[in-house]
Amino acid sequence: MAKILDENPRPTLKDRVTKVNGSVQGSQVWNSIFRPGSIFRKGYTDSPRNRSYVIMNSVLYHLHPVKVKRHAVKVSYTLCLGGLSFFLFILLTVTGIFLMFFYRPEATQAWNDINNLQTSVAFGLLVRNMHRWGAHLMVLSVFLHMARVFYHGAYKTPREFNWVIGMILLTLTLLLSFTGYLLPWDQLALWAVTVGTNMMGYTPVLGSQVRFVLLGGAEIGPETLLRWYVLHVLFFPFIIVIFMAIHFWRVRKDGGISGPL
Amino acid sequence: MTEIPEHLLKRAQAARDKAAAEAAPAEPAAAADAPASDSRIPAHLLERSRAAKAKTEGGAEPASGGGGLAVAEKVAAVVAAPAAGGGIPVGAGPGGHTQRLLTVVKSGSIQEVKAAPVDKVHTWPHLLAAEFVAALACTAFVFVFSVFVNAPLLQYANINKTPNPSKAPWYFLGLQELLTMFHPMIAGVTIPGVGLILLILSPYIDKNPSNKPEDRKFATSLMTIFLMFWAVLVIIGSFFRGPGFNFTLPWRDGIFFEL
């Protein structure tokens, strides 16, 4: 009896996990998801080859090369400002999508929706706070990123055009922040935007026409709210994502980040 | 004309001299020795192969001619042939050259040569880990800040009730500050427009190729003045402007500023 038990021991939990793991990772579904050579398919042990595969066999390859210049990973050089701007954009997209579930861009509803979000939606106040502070932080980090790039002379050949794209991204960031400013439809939003757009009206030739189109009238009103909502949640994010893609692509094409000094 | 590297010229001269020296004796016997003397194969190896050849010929004789022997003899004949011919091969150029130097193509013109190997590290883990930590720290900062500080939500918007002061978002407060000094078109359009265009064009204006701080004192100073100019205007507009957008001191009259 003891002998029989020894020959067919009950599988331990570890054996079962190994077996399930093996059958999952050997399945066609799993292998169709992860590319050959992916660390999710063949496991990861630290070796130069696997370090390359982590990038090469994942979507990160669109963003990063397998190897970068040693000085480029120094935090003291970039201060992570460009990467943090991109990360804040992602954070703002996530929190912004959450806010969209509770918000109607109508003058009669907008303020109440935000008020309800803050008082009766779980984590509503927290997410709105994160969206607002994150937005101010993004304006700041994009601005500091620009200063950092200037002081390192990183806009010089061959990176001239990427600097121009960066300036477009800075402008778009300001526009994203400014269009979002109106959406709570409180006194702060209304009058800050009024002051901001009044200046725009003085632009020669097209100033007042552009202002009229953007505001949906001669003065800020309910139409403005809808327009700026669409600009804020769809139009400018769409444009900025395109320019970000070009910006990141150019960083790699122009030979990685600049320097060392 | 392409300049020919010195070592190639020297080599050609040496070959020419050698050919002349060989032609002078013109003795077939001397020529037979030549392959051994000017060959680059070390003498002891030649000695060894000669001994091995002699041994094979000696040892193969009793075996009464196998296939291997025939091959060995043929090879030996081929090897011996140029030596027997001696002197200058038929169809050689002036000075006994069998090859001519047509041109020297520098390697840089036909292939990309990396001047110096670049010191690189793997993106994973060296860069990705740093980025991940930065992203986590940023999230943590925004999260904690948001737990403790609430975003402002003032009264419902009222077109007929202008707050005093009315201020633009903080990043436009520099412009609003300029409005107190200039005509709206100058302050709101011309100055920021010219500033933005100059900033966009800076890589095309700044022709200095160096990125070293000590070589770019002028550019650095100009940018610092530009940034400080806006920073000071934004700070004044944010904290030192009260009702009617008149100058106030924040420690005396309080702060009229919402983010």
Percent of chain B predicted with pLDDT > 90: 40
Cα dihedral A250→A254→A256→A258 (10° resolution): -110
Q: Are residues A218 and A95 in the same domain?
A: yes
Residues B87 and B51 in one domain: yes
Residues B215 and B239 in one domain: yes
pLDDT digits (tens, 9 = 90+) for B92-125: 666 777 777 888 887 777 776 666 778 899 998 9
Within 8 A by CB and 6+ apart from A247, the residues are: A162, A165, A166, A169
Q: Do A154 and A121 share a domain, yes or no?
A: yes
Question: In Å, how far from its chain's centre is CA B133?
Answer: 29
Residue A156 sits in the same domain as residue A215: yes
Residue numbers in B near A55 (CB within 8 A): 122-124
**Residue B231 within a domain:** yes
- Both tokens of B106, joined, read 């520098």
In a domain, residue A261? The reply is no
Are A153 and B219 inside 8 Å of each other by CB?
Answer: yes
Same domain for A242 and A121: yes
Residue B249 lies in a domain: yes
A42 shares its domain with A92: no
**Secondary structure string (H, E, C) spanning chain B:** CCCCCHHHHHHHHHHHHHHHHHHCCCCHHHHHHHHHHHCCCCHHHHHHHHHHHHHHHHHHCCCCCCHHHHHHHHHHHHHHHHHHHCCCCCCCCHHHCCCCCCCCCCHHHHCCCCCCCCCEEEHHHHHHHHHHHHHHHHHHHHHHHHHHCCCCCCCECCCCCCCCCCCCCHHHHHHHHHHCCCCHHHHHHHHHHHHHHHHHHHHHHCCCCCCCHHHCHHHHHHHHHHHHHHHHHHHHHHHCECHHHCECCHHHHCCCCCC
Q: Please indicate, yes or no, whether residues B213 and B174 belong to a single structural domain of this protein.
A: yes
pLDDT digits (tens, 9 = 90+) for B124-174: 899 999 999 999 999 999 999 999 999 999 999 998 999 888 999 999 999
Q: State whether B166 and B144 are in the same domain.
A: no
Round the average pLDDT of chain B to a whole number and report it.
81
* Residue B116 is assigned to a structural domain of this protein: no
Looking at chain B from residue 215 to 244, which residues have their Cβ under 8 Å from any Cβ of chain A? 216, 219-220, 223, 227
Task: Using alpha carbons, select from A156, A96, A153 the residue that is nearest to residue A127.
Answer: A96
- Residue A186 DSSP one-character state: B
Structural domain range at position A41: 13-62
Domain count, chain B: 3
Same domain? For A111 and A181 the reply is: yes
Position B71 in a domain: yes
Q: Are residues B63 and B36 located together in one domain of the fold?
A: yes
Chain B residues in contact with A73 (beta carbon < 8 A): 121, 126-127, 130
Q: Report, as an integer, the average pLDDT of B189-210.
A: 92
A211 and A231 belong to one structural domain = yes
Strands (DSSP E) along chain A, which ranges? 67-69
My answer on whether A134 and A198 are in the same domain is yes
The answer to whether residues A141 and A87 touch, using CB atoms and an 8 Å cutoff, is no
Residue A176 CB-density burial (10 A; 0-12 exposed, 13-18 middle, 19+ buried)? buried
Residue B178 shares a structural domain with residue B237:
yes
pTM of the model: 0.75
Q: How far apart are CA B223 and CA B206, in angstroms?
A: 12
- Which domain does B21 fall in, by range? 6-108
* B216: in domain: yes
Structure tokens at B101: 């130097």
**Same domain, residue pair A79 and A51:** no
Residue with tokens 């880990």: B129
* B199 interface with A at CB cutoff 8 Å: yes
B93 and B13 share one domain:
yes
CA gyration radius for chain A? 26
For testing the chain B interface, which of A85, A186, A232 should be mutated: the one with the most B CBs within 10 Å? A186
The token duo for B196 is 């933005």
**Domain contains B1:** no
Amino acid at A76: S
The verdict on a CB contact (< 8 Å) between A187 and B155 is yes
Same domain as A121, residue A167 = yes
In a domain, B114, yes or no: no
Share of chain B above pLDDT 70, in %: 77
Chain A's closest residue to B144, CA to CA, is A130
Please give the pLDDT value at position B71: 46
Selecting from B134, B209, B220 the residue whose C-beta is nearest the C-beta of A156 gives B209
Residue B32 token pair:
């037979």
What domain count does chain A have?
A: 2
Distance in angstroms (rounded) separating the CA atoms of residues A137 and A86: 12
For B175-199, letters b (16+ CB in 10 Å) and e give bbbbbeeeeeeebbbbbbeeeeeeb
pLDDT attached to residue B67: 43
Tokens matching residue A106: 């109508």
CATH of the domain at A206: 1.20.810.10
- ipTM entry: 0.90
B63 and B143 share a domain?
A: no
Tell me: do B79 and B140 sit in the same domain: no
Which whole number is the average pLDDT over B196-225? Answer: 93
Of A115, A133, A189, the CB nearest to B142: A133
Which residue of B122, B166, B171 is in closest CB contact with A194?
A: B166
The answer to whether residues A91 and A151 belong to one domain is yes
Q: What are the residues whose beta carbons fall under 8 Å from the beta carbon of A143, sequence distance 6 or more? A: A170, B171
Lowest mean pLDDT of A160-174, B17-31, B57-71, name the range.
Answer: B57-71
